[in-house]
């Protein structure tokens, strides 16, 4: 109980103890910042009807207007498409990475050119990159281990075994830990990024973990689990499960994909809210995260069944995988993503990248991560 109360104080007292991470200010005399949304397609299985293949770029500042399509050979052709499994980027190195079931492709964000493409034993899934852009934790395709890969050339550095269906991956904002969720385990593995070994676990949760997110301080995880319309919360310090929260007022039923009622969860960057997907009811449910456990406050109807949720870096917009753009403050749908042919775009693999004078200066994340960090860690990250 003492640990729970301490975490509660930390989570709701961010104005005192924490500062929100912000990108470095670019040099004077350069054109204004461009905020762009990068969307990997096909990002709903291998369904090309939701935007074709490649990486679609949208201008956030211009009503999410389509900007360009970046063709990626590994993601297929008009005749055959390869499902995107994950996307991540580093403003520090100026590189973008996209995975499919077999390979990982690295692109230069300035030129959009492919830098390298690598295939790996047992395939690829949803990876994550270290804050400095040097290291990628790439899960095998529901396999027995995670690859630790060099962001520079794609070479394997190490392996972290879990033997439980490697799947979703998150790097902590301070770069000290990677969180590894496997499809067949109720335990979240916590890896030490320095030693590249499993350090501990959080759980067990009620069922195997699906999508999840973590707060910026690295003290709490919020996880979707099989069979639950809602989420559970774990203490990343003690390793214990703290709460189970079920969505109220909506039935649980069949879903098109994932076989999981809630497959998608994200914190707003300021960590004041938690947004959770509901595929059966085609909705997003919003929770007040300033209280513990979080309190359900509102639901937003979508045009299709969502399987993911993430946010713009500044927290102004929410991006469900169904392609709507939601204004977080008003809860209104303000745009829908469409490609150059006017075709509706849907994807579970997308993130924001900001540019200044043509140079990437900040990269978001495909997961809806909390971005409040302890002040000392924030100062170190900004150095």
320-327 own/partner pairs: CB under 8 Å, 24+ apart:
320/264, 320/277, 320/284, 321/43, 321/44, 321/264, 321/277, 321/346, 321/347, 321/348, 322/282, 322/346, 323/50, 323/347, 325/64, 326/284, 326/300
Q: What is the pLDDT of residues 90-109, one digit of tens each?
A: 999 999 999 999 999 999 99
375: confidence class by pLDDT, cuts 50, 70, 90: low
31: confidence class by pLDDT, cuts 50, 70, 90: low
Residue 23 predicted with pLDDT over 50: no
Q: Which of 260, 250, 350 has its CA nearest to residue 309? A: 350
Token pair in block for residue 159: 């392996």
| Superfamily for domain range 2-382 | YVTN repeat-like/Quinoprotein amine dehydrogenase (2.130.10.10)
Contacts of 17 (CB under 8 A, 6+ apart): 10, 374, 375
Q: What is the mean pLDDT of residues 48-58?
A: 96
Domain boundaries, the chain: 2-382
Residue 247 predicted with pLDDT over 80: yes
Q: What is the pLDDT of residues 265-320, one digit of tens each?
A: 999 999 999 999 999 999 999 999 999 999 999 999 999 999 999 999 999 999 99
Contacts of 379 (CB under 8 A, 6+ apart): none
374: confidence class by pLDDT, cuts 50, 70, 90: confident
Residue 79 has a pLDDT of 73
Helix, strand, or coil (residue 264): coil
């Amino acid at each position: 109980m003492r640990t729970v109360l301490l975490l509660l104080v930390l989570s709701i007292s961010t104005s005192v103890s924490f500062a929100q991470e912000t990108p470095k200010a670019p040099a004077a005399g350069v054109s204004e910042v461009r905020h762009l949304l990068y969307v990997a397609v096909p990002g709903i299985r291998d369904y090309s009807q939701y935007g074709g293949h490649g990486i679609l770029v949208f201008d956030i500042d211009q009503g999410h207007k389509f900007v360009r399509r970046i063709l990626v050979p590994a993601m297929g052709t008009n005749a055959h498409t390869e499902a995107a499994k994950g996307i991540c980027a580093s403003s520090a190195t100026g590189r973008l990475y996209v995975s499919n079931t077999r390979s990982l492709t690295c692109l230069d964000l300035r030129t959009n050119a492919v830098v390298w493409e690598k295939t790996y034993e047992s395939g690829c899934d949803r990876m994550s990159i270290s804050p400095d852009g040097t290291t990628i934790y790439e899960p095998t395709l529901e396999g027995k281990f995670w690859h630790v890969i060099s962001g520079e050339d794609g070479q394997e550095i190490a392996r972290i075994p879990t033997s439980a269906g490697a799947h979703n991956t998150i790097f902590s904002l301070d770069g000290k830990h990677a969180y590894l969720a496997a499809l067949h385990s109720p335990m979240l593995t916590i890896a030490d990024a320095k030693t590249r070994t499993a350090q501990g676990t959080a759980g067990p949760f009620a069922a195997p973990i699906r999508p999840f997110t973590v707060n910026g301080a690295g003290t709490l995880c919020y996880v979707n689990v099989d069979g639950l319309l809602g989420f559970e919360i774990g203490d990343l310090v003690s390793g214990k499960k703290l709460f189970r929260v079920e969505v109220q007022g909506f039935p649980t039923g069949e879903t098109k994909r994932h076989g999981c009622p809630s497959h998608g969860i994200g914190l707003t960057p300021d960590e004041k809210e938690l947004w959770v997907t509901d595929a059966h009811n085609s909705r997003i449910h919003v929770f007040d995260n300033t209280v513990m456990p979080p309190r359900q406050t509102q639901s937003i109807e979508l045009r299709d069944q969502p399987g993911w949720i993430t946010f713009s870096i500044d927290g102004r917009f929410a991006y469900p995988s169904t392609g709507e753009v939601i204004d977080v403050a008003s809860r209104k749908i303000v745009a829908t993503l469409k490609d150059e042919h006017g075709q509706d775009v849907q994807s579970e693999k997308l993130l924001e990248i900001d540019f200044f004078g043509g140079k990437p200066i900040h990269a978001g994340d495909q997961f809806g991560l909390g971005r409040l960090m302890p002040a000392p860690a924030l100062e170190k990250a900004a150095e």
